[in-house]
């Protein structure tokens, strides 16, 4: 424990010396460090087991989402607007998991806590990009369900493959621009005191708070990004389901209502799994002062668990995918039975 504290203190001291030398000799106004030090979990015995657990989550996530991607790509009956959205969600899940967990394994299990300045910004960009894609994809899937139930006669006119491809192309372009803008403002900050990031990756908030010059624009952008990708999507999804429930009331039979509602169960579960952990972390941080370790555990689980559960939910709750998997197993078992 003492050696760990000495390491952190030495890191801070080296950062201050390096930054002062750079600013003195090169006479520049903005000081960028050569590297950051990611602190992760500190003072917790056997914390390596937690990272091993996250690696198991990573393994299940990659396998599960890869299966969903392959099934949707190969099965022509799933080339529909809804499954274009599911494909996009699985792609974002794999992207976020790969941007986050392998770096955590390298950082903490192999004690490589130093990350170069440029690598840190790249890590920040990809984690927030894929997370924002997940959020907006859930909004697009809510739109799909809203049109299907509230305007069924106009569904094929308003929601088709071309429309969904255009929507997701715009989503990727817009989100990439917003996240790139957020990360670019980090380059306007000077880091002349501490380079110790109180997180488990190059998180935007913990990084810009280390700056020794004015970081108000970064605070504003952080707030706007939170509203854009957490608050606004949740409000839109809630409003869409209010419209869906009003439409369900107009259906005369309970059978008809249940049949329509059944098509929304998978999406509702995905929404709950994605937004509840993130909103809980934000609310907890506002109401009580979370310790750095508590924040690391809560946010890492909020990022890691939903991508693992999403493919499981779609396999278990979606009739089309279950039928395809059953056919695959039947086709494989048939030759074995004939041989026997």
Return the CATH number at 43: 1.20.1070.10
- Scored b (16 or more CB within 10 A) or e, 107-134 reads bbeeeebebebeebbebbbbbbbbbbbb
Read off the tokens for 142. 């809510």
pLDDT tens readout for residues 269-323: 999 999 988 888 878 777 777 777 888 888 888 889 999 998 888 776 666 676 7
pTM: 0.84
pLDDT tens readout for residues 56-75: 999 999 999 998 899 889 88
H helices of 105-231, in order, are: 117-150, 155-158, 161-184, 204-208, 216-226
* Sheet arrangement for strand 35-38: 114-116, 35-38, 196-197
pLDDT tens readout for residues 175-190: 999 999 999 999 999 9
Going 74 to 80 to 82 to 85, the CA torsion angle's sign is positive
Instruction: Report yes or no: 308 and 61 within 8 Å, Cβ to Cβ.
Output: yes
Q: Which helix (H) or strand (E) holds 23?
A: helix 2-26
Measured distance CA(6)–CA(233) in Å, rounded: 44
Number of domains in the chain: 1
Range of the domain at 173: 2-339
Measured distance CA(64)–CA(243) in Å, rounded: 32
Measured distance CA(232)–CA(311) in Å, rounded: 25
Measured distance CA(216)–CA(151) in Å, rounded: 45
Judge whether residue 36 has pLDDT over 60: yes
Instruction: Report yes or no: 81 and 141 within 8 Å, Cβ to Cβ.
Output: no
Instruction: Report yes or no: 74 and 52 within 8 Å, Cβ to Cβ.
Output: no
Average pLDDT taken over every residue of the chain:
84
Instruction: Report yes or no: 115 and 123 within 8 Å, Cβ to Cβ.
Output: yes
Closest CA to 143 of 158, 131, 121: 158
């Amino acid at each position: 424990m003492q050696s760990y504290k000495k390491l952190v203190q030495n890191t801070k001291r080296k950062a201050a010396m390096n930054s002062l030398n750079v600013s003195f000799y090169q006479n520049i106004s903005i000081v960028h460090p050569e590297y950051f030090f990611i602190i992760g979990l500190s003072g917790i015995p056997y914390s390596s087991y937690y990272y091993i657990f996250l690696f198991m989550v990573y393994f299940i996530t990659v396998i599960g989402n890869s299966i969903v991607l392959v099934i949707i790509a190969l099965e022509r009956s799933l080339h529909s607007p809804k499954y274009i959205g599911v494909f996009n969600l699985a792609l974002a899940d794999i992207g976020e998991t790969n941007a986050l967990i392998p770096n955590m394994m390298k950082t903490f299990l192999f004690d490589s806590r130093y990350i170069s300045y440029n690598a840190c910004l790249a890590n920040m960009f990809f984690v927030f990009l894929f997370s924002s894609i997940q959020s907006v994809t859930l909004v697009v899937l809510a739109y799909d369900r809203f049109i299907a139930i509230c305007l069924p006669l106009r569904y094929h006119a308003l929601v088709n493959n071309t429309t969904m491809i255009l929507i997701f192309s715009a989503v990727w372009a817009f989100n990439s621009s917003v996240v790139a803008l957020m990360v670019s403002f980090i380059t306007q900050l000077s880091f002349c005191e501490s380079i110790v990031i109180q997180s488990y990756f190059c998180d935007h908030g913990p990084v810009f708070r280390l700056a020794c010059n004015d970081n108000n624009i970064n605070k504003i952008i952080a707030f706007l990004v939170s509203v854009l990708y957490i608050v606004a999507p949740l409000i839109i999804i809630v409003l869409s389901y209010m419209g869906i429930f009003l439409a369900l009331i107009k259906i005369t039979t309970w059978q008809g209502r249940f049949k329509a509602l059944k098509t929304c169960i998978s999406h509702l579960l995905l929404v709950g799994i994605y937004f509840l952990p993130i909103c809980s972390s934000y609310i907890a941080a506002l109401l009580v002062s979370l310790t750095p370790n508590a924040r690391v555990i809560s946010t890492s689980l909020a990022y890691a668990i939903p991508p693992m559960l999403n493919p499981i939910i779609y396999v278990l709750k979606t009739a089309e995918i279950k039928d395809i998997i059953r056919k695959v197993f039947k086709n494989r078992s048939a030759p074995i039975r004939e041989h026997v």
